[in-house]
Amino acid sequence: MTADFPKVELHLHLEGAAPPAFVRGLAKQKSIDISGIFDARGTYSYNDFWHFLKVYEAATSVLTSPEDYARLTRAVLEESAASGVVYCESFLSPDFCGGRDVAAWRDYLAAIREAADEAERAHGIVLRGIVTAIRHFGPEKARETALCAAETAGDWIVGFGIAGDEKAGKPADFAWSFDCAREAGLRLTAHAGEWGGPESVRDALDAFRPARIGHGVRAIEDPRLVERLAEDGIVLEVCPGSNVALGLYKDWRAHPIERLRAGGVKVTVSTDDPPFFHTTMAREFDRLAEDLGWDADDFAELNRNAAEAAFCDEATRAELIKKLEAA
Ligand code: ADE
Ligand code: ZN
| Same domain, residue pair 53 and 193 | no
Residue 1's pLDDT band, with cuts at 50, 70 and 90, is low
Active-site annotation holds for 57: no
Residue-level pLDDT at 203 = 98
Phi, psi dihedrals of residue 19, rounded to the nearest 5°: -60, 145
Is residue 205 within 8 Å of residue 225, measured between CB atoms?
Answer: no
Residue-level pLDDT at 2 = 78
Q: Which of 5, 18, 36 is nearest to 273 (CA)?
A: 18
Ordered strands of the 126-134 beta sheet: 7-13, 85-92, 126-134, 157-163, 187-192, 212-215, 235-238, 266-269
pLDDT at 164 over 80: yes
Domain membership of residue 2 (yes or no) is: no
Residues around ligand 2, an ion, CB closer than 5 A: 272
Mutate to test the pocket of ligand 1, among 92, 189, 273, 279 (most ligand atoms within 8 A of CB): 273
Domain that holds residue 175: 7-18+67-326
pLDDT at 3 over 90: no
Ligand 1 centroid to residue 163 C-alpha, Å? 6
Q: Tens digit of pLDDT for each residue in 116-139? A: 999 999 999 999 999 999 999 999
Ligand 1 neighbours by CB, cut-off 6 Å: 13, 16, 56, 163-164, 191, 194, 242, 272-273
Q: Tens digit of pLDDT for each residue in 274-302? A: 999 999 999 999 999 999 999 999 999 99
Q: Read off the pLDDT of each residue in 251-263 and give the average, rounded to a whole number.
A: 98
Q: Read off the pLDDT of each residue in 153-164 and give the average, rounded to a whole number.
A: 98
Residue-level pLDDT at 327 = 85
| Same domain, residue pair 131 and 279 | yes
Mutate to test the pocket of ligand 1, among 9, 51, 56, 95 (most ligand atoms within 8 A of CB): 56
Residue 16 CA: nearest ligand 1 atom is: 2
| Same domain, residue pair 75 and 46 | no
Residue-level pLDDT at 130 = 99
Residue-level pLDDT at 291 = 97
| Same domain, residue pair 133 and 44 | no
Q: What angle do CA 210, 134, 211 make, to 5 degrees?
A: 10
Residue 114: Cβ within 10 Å count: 14
The CATH number that applies at residue 162 is 3.20.20.140
| Same domain, residue pair 48 and 192 | no
Domain membership of residue 1 (yes or no) is: no
Residue-level pLDDT at 295 = 96
Q: Read off the pLDDT of each residue in 252-266 and give the average, rounded to a whole number.
A: 98
Q: Read off the pLDDT of each residue in 165-177 and give the average, rounded to a whole number.
A: 97
pLDDT at 4 over 90: no
| Same domain, residue pair 25 and 98 | no
| Same domain, residue pair 176 and 117 | yes
Active-site position among 15, 194, 237, 284: 194
How many independent structural domains does the chain possess?
Answer: 2
| Same domain, residue pair 35 and 132 | no
Average pLDDT, the chain: 97
Largest Cα–Cα distance of the chain, in whole Å? 53
| Same domain, residue pair 142 and 156 | yes
Whether the predicted model's global pTM rises above the 0.85 cut = yes
Q: Tens digit of pLDDT for each residue in 39-81? A: 999 999 999 999 999 999 999 999 999 999 999 999 999 999 9
